[in-house]
Structure formats: structure tokens, C-alpha cells
Amino acid sequence: MPVPLFDPTSPLGPLRAEIRTAVHRVLDAGQFILGPEVEAFEREWAAYLGAGHAIGVANGTEAITIALRALGVGPGDEVVVPSFTFWASAEAIPPTGATPVFCDIDPDTMCVTADTVKAAMTPRTKAVVAVHLFGNLAPVREIEALGVPVLEDAAQAAGSTSVDGRPGALGTIATFSFYPSKNLGAFGDGGAITTRDAELAERVRTLRFHGSKDKTDYVDIGYNSRLDEMQAAILRVQLPHLDTWAEARVAAGDRYAEALEGVVTLPVAAPGCLPAWHLYVIRHPDPDTLLAALAQQGIGARQYYREPVHAQPPMAQWAPKHELPATAEAARTHLAIPMSAALDGEQVAAVAAAIRGAVPAAR
């Protein structure tokens, strides 16, 4: 049975008429930048997260840069960030003038911890980017106890929950991507920054709009980075369904865990966290063989971060002088298998059967 790695379209099937209505509402209004749809989505997204303030921006990468700038990060500062993550988590740091400092991850959750962050901190550390990887949640409160602001990179964690609250409302400031494959996806690029701090929120609003509050007076060198009205309208249609989609991802992950226990190394939810798996990432000493076997059966799979960020040539100047052993092991052994809000039990069983059949060859 062919099973795609992602299926972002099936959950949208029942919403197509409502999405068309939203699109026509924007067309009829004739206001396409920073209008009522963006304002409404910002209110609704902040309320959903319990974050206080949400500010729509153009994409998740610029969200990180702008959020760091709002925190006062600049030349001479250091920002601690994991190396086992999507490139943008670190790529967004140098444009502020600051230096990325790479830290290791927990080998089970594949997220940073207070200990891995502390090992990378120096007197120049101005902030920490805590990535909620694959939908799992980093221990933000424990990291904040180290005495530095924490920026949650929550691009992969929309819909996840924890005993401390939702991602986006755990640290000093947080960023989201609404790239189409995300748990909450736009029909193009989009992003948001959330915070409980009203002053931080106001700095973000100014920075996203050329460093101006009124398009006449400029108080900073900012960015042209705004979530547009069309994407905001589409996201508003989807937001009420996010929890249902998250529950479906959790259920699919539970089915995988039951079917693959003892066959491969399974992802481990962080303590107190219920991950809405954006990616379901297993681990095995020979992921290449598993990947090839799944491909033969039309089953989508991918190794996302085979080369850690610090090992990529543009980051070589900032590569740590010490080893990051958990990062290296996760990069070598990980494999993302199909996950979506539309993944059903029959598909999970097909994927699990293909993996079980391939594991003897992999060994």
C-alpha cells in the first residue's frame, strides 16, 4: 500500500467551501496587507496558545530573526541553538549580528535540555533558541532557570501540549511557521511571533514593518515581513480544527509505537508532553536500508538532518570544537516515516509491516 510521507490536503477536504468563502471575503474587501483578517487571526492564535500577543510575519525564519532582534540580540552576543534541527533555526541568528553557539540534544527526546544548553553557555550568551523538534517540547522552564531569555522555535509543534501549557506560551518569546506541510499550514509562506510581554510585542510589530509604527516615522532598521490577509483568512478557517488534527497525529503515533515496539528505536515524548507529531522519527543503525525498502513499496520516508547544521559549510566558522555525540548519533540513525492528520490505522499497519520486513536485512 503506497503511503505518502505527508498528506496536507486530505484534512482540508471538508473545509474547501469555507476556505473559498474566506478567500472571496478577502477579495471583496480589497485589503491584502495587515487588514482585519490578520488582526483577527492574531487575536485567535494568541487566545488558542494562551500567549497574550501574536504578531503575523512573512515566514518562520524571519520570525526567529525578528524575535531575537526584539530581545535586543545583536553584534557581540551569542545565541545557543541545537545543531540537530532545521537549518533556519540557526540561519536566522547571524543576520542579527550575533554568533550561533551549537549545543547537543537529549538522545531520547531529540530536543535540547537545560544541561545541554548550560554546557554551551558563556558570559556572552544573550538568548537560547529551544527547538520543539518534530512536535516534541523542549523543557523551556528549566532552561529559563539558567537566567537567559528562551525563544521557542515552535515551527513543528502547533497542537502539542504540556503540563506547563502550549508551545508558544512557555518562554519569553516564540516563533511559528505556517509552511503548508506544518500541523497548521497556510497555502504559501507565513509565520507568527508570540509573547506574553506587551513591550516585546510592540517591538516585534515595529520591526516587522520596516522599523516603523506609522509608515512615516522610522525608529529602527526593520524588515518587510508581514503575514498577508489571504493566508490569515485561510489559517482562521483551519484553526478550530487544529486540536482534532493534533489528536489524530497523537493516535497515529500511538499505533506506530504499539506496532514497532522492539523493532526500531521509537521517539520518546518529553516528560509532561503530548506531542502532536509533525514528523514521526524512528531510529535504526541502518536507516538507509529501511529507506530503500520503504521506497520500493511506495512508502514515503526521509532523513531530514543527516548532516547537522554545524557541519554545513556556511556554519563552519562557528562549529564547536568539542563533539556533540547525541547530535551525531541522531543525524546518522534517524528516519521520518509517514505522519499526518489523515493517517489511518490501515496505513500505519502497512508502514509498520514494511519496516518489520526490512529490519532483518538492515541488521
- Spell out the domains of the chain, with CATH numbers in brackets: 10-239 (3.40.640.10), 241-362 (3.90.1150.10)
Q: Look at residue 362 in the predicted model and tell me its pLDDT.
A: 59
List the one residue out of 94, 83, 179, 95 whose CA is nearest residue 131.
83
* Position 361 confidence tier, pLDDT thresholds 50, 70, 90: low
- Residues 344, 11 contacting (CB under 8 angstroms): no
Q: Across residues 222-228, what is the average pLDDT?
A: 96
Q: Across residues 245-260, what is the average pLDDT?
A: 98
In sequence order, the 6+-apart residues with CB closer than 8 A to the CB of 16 are none
List the one residue out of 151, 167, 173, 178 whose CA is nearest residue 41.
178
Write out the three cell numbers for 153: 522555535
Task: State pLDDT tens for residues 23-58.
Answer: 999 999 999 999 999 999 999 999 999 999 999 999
Q: Is the pLDDT of residue 359 over 90?
A: no
The 53-57 sheet, strands edge to edge: 53-57, 191-195, 173-177, 150-153, 125-131, 78-82, 99-103
Q: Look at residue 216 in the predicted model and tell me its pLDDT.
A: 87
Q: Look at residue 360 in the predicted model and tell me its pLDDT.
A: 77
Distances (CA, A) of 143 to 152, 182, 275: 11, 25, 19
Distances (CA, A) of 6 to 175, 195, 208, 362: 22, 30, 31, 24
Note the pTM of the prediction, 2 decimals: 0.96
Q: Is the pLDDT of residue 90 over 90?
A: yes
Q: Is the pLDDT of residue 334 over 80?
A: yes
- Residues 97, 74 contacting (CB under 8 angstroms): yes
> Pairing between strand 273-274 and 78-82?
unpaired
- Residues 266, 55 contacting (CB under 8 angstroms): no
Q: Look at residue 53 in the predicted model and tell me its pLDDT.
A: 98
- Cα 64 from chain centroid? 11
Q: Across residues 163-169, what is the average pLDDT?
A: 96
List the one residue out of 133, 143, 165 whose CA is nearest residue 279.
133
Q: Is the pLDDT of residue 110 over 70?
A: yes
Residue 224, Cβ density class (10 Å: 0-12 exposed, 13-18 middle, ≥19 buried): exposed
Count Cβ neighbours within 10 Å for each residue of 233-272 and write b for 16 or more, e otherwise.
bbbbbbbebbeebbebbbebbebbbebbeeebbbbbbbee
Q: Look at residue 214 in the predicted model and tell me its pLDDT.
A: 85
Q: How many whole angstroms separate alpha carbon 249 and alpha carbon 247? A: 5
Q: Across residues 139-147, what is the average pLDDT?
A: 97
- Bridge partners (DSSP) of residue 128 are 80, 150
Q: Is the pLDDT of residue 182 over 70?
A: yes
Q: Across residues 183-191, what is the average pLDDT?
A: 97
